[in-house]
A and B are shown apart, each in its own frame.
Chain A
Amino acid sequence: MRFSNECKNASGNRGSWRTISSHRLREVHLDKLLEGGLREGTVTELVGGSSSGKTQVCMQVAASVAYRCRAMVGFVDTCHSFSATRLSHMLGGLVGGRDAVQRRVGAADEIGDAMKSIMHYSIFDIFPMLSFLNQLHTTLSVQVQSMEEKVMRLLIVDCASSVISPILGGIPGHALMVSMGIILKKLALENHLAVLITNHTVGGEGGHPKPALGETWKAMPSVRLLLARDFSSNLCHATVMKHTSMACNRHAAFQITRTGLRPVF
């Protein structure tokens, strides 16, 4: 059943709206918030201040997709925030079992398999980033899908504003930012990826933080989530700021634990 769905996706005969597959993020409770999870063909943006949990959510999503959907995940890391150790803890939490004794036989292999399907890219500059995204687009477009190979389903860019902020204000700056937005949307739509990007906040009027990168960038993602961390209770609050088919200001909270993100009801 699943294979036939993917056939339809690859040939592009059906409109992708009808054969959307969403990635289940049961652990994060964002499922309910986003009514199903991250959608293929859309760019989702996570906005939040410093240490609000953006990278934790990105890693949790990567772990979840790599393990549950058995798909390849691309993680573009522009600010040295990726920690493989932490990812392995999260995968341990997904696989189940508190310690090696309780874990079932073969769990370690499953974790290893999942980790091998998460590709990590360290890119710090805008031109290598654009070149990489374009290469990814051409490679994925011509790739012939076989039964054994894993397909890339999710692309994470953490953090998009680190590569764009230094060039804004220069002459080609704005245009380069728009180019990056275009290629991210292309990747989402034409290559059937779910794209997850993170963004910083900057001070706005009245001291309220607003997403960095300005008004033009704001129009690019289809879904925007605001993350805020409450240090006294160690909870992370996610609010929907923008969505194509859902009401805004819906809210969920989760806790960052040793084995990943846990929903708080």
Chain B
Amino acid sequence: MDVLTLALPPSQRSKLLAAGFHTTAALVSVTPFQLSQEANITLEEATVVLKLVPRSDIDHVGALSLSGPLTGSTTAWDLLIHEKNRRKIGTGSTEVDKILGGGVLSKELTEICGVPGVGKTQFSMQLAVNVQIPAEFGGVGGHAIYIDTEGSFMMERVLQITEAVIDDLRNKSPASAEDLTVEDFLSHIYLLRVHDPVEQLAVVNTLPTLLDEHKEVRLVVFDSVTFNFRQDFEDMAGRTRLLANMAQKLMAVAENYDVAIVLVNQVTHKVTSEGSRTVPALGESWSHVCTNRLMVYWMDGQRYAHLAKSPSLPVGTAPYVITEEGVRDAQESHKRPKLVEPHG
């Protein structure tokens, strides 16, 4: 394997290449002292380099098993058991929960995509409150990190949603819900305000540190992930790379910290030879990032949520409404007032 494939800073790599170490095989039988002499690097750096070199585990006496040297492997069976026990974060509407397979799942990236005004921020705020529903009521009982890039987080609205949720829980079981207070709920939503792409990437990079400090966080909401990346980018390829980088880090965070990540995306128009249609923003490459994609849209004055992408569930559509209490099922038809023209 080439020395190039080791994760080294470029200066160290060029020193190694200049000293004649081109492959990792050449590094296997070298001591740190020898390496530091020949490649002109310090002893600490040499030790670090040699630690990165993969060694064949034939040195370890005993039977070789595939899962031994290949750490981080689990079998599909282990995953199945884990998946069966996963808790889901309800969205507030049982119909939408049904098409999502019970709710928003942890260790997955869920994207909510729709036209302006259809209720993406409402969904995000509802999820940030619903994640705190205690385990006795079938919830996750975790905290939430809310990353706001558009300034659409409204404290008064979250207060309304929280009060409605606590009321619902009190109706279900007054005894267990007694010590739930609005202050508790609100103090467990950690709000981060982001103003430009650099800040957004910095937040994503520091998420591991944040999650180390607040171990009860079970949900990270990005509202929205698109806003900062839609303007001021002359180099589209560079933008795609930055987004791919951000996506990778988010996936690693979701996996390592067992959190659910919800990304809110906007839509844009794609003009093709057949006409124009609405597609999720940020391009084709971003579509591959999310595990589940929920498209929300208007039709005949009614809001619908459509599961467009999922590894284990079929596509499905469910209607929902936004009331004073938050996101709820559409029991009767809640038509949008005719004063405003519906978005196309």
* A residues neighboring B (CB under 8 Å): 49-51, 55-56, 59, 62, 72, 75, 78-88, 112, 115-125, 127, 130-132, 134-136, 138-139, 142-144, 152, 159, 161-163, 165-166, 168-169, 171-172, 175-176, 179, 183, 200-203, 207, 209, 212, 231, 258
Contacts and interface: CB of A to CB of B under 8 A. Distances in A.
Nearest to B280: A50
B252 A200 contact: no
Nearest to B248: A124
A162 B288 contact: yes
Given A115-B75, A172-B10, A207-B273, 4 more contacts: A49-B284, A84-B80, A85-B84, A203-B283
Contacts of A138: 54, 56-57
Given A143-B64, A202-B285, A51 B75 contact: no
B178 interface: no
Interface residues of B, number: 61
A130 B66 contact: no
A84 B76 contact: yes
A207 B271 CA distance: 10
A258 B69 CA distance: 36
Contacts of B74: 119-120
Contacts of A87: 76, 80
B57 A81 contact: no
A84 B79 CA distance: 6
Q: Which of A49, A51, A161, A176 has the most CB of B within 10 A?
A: A51
A50 B309 contact: yes
B4 interface: yes
B94 interface: no
Q: Which 3 A-B pairs have the closest CB atoms?
A: A50-B287, A83-B312, A84-B79
Contact of A124 (B251, B284, B308): B251
A137 to B, nearest CB: 9
Contacts of A119: 66-67, 70, 73-76
B239 to A, nearest CB: 11
B4 A142 contact: no
A131 B311 contact: no
B77 interface: yes
Contacts of A179: 1-2, 4-5
Contact of A116 (B75, B237, B248, B293): B75
Given A82-B311, A119-B75, A183-B1, A88 B255 contact: no
A258 B315 CA distance: 12
Contact of A122 (B80, B241, B255, B308): B255
A79 B4 contact: no
Given A51-B308, A83-B83, A130 B5 contact: yes
B206 interface: no
B165 to A, nearest CB: 28
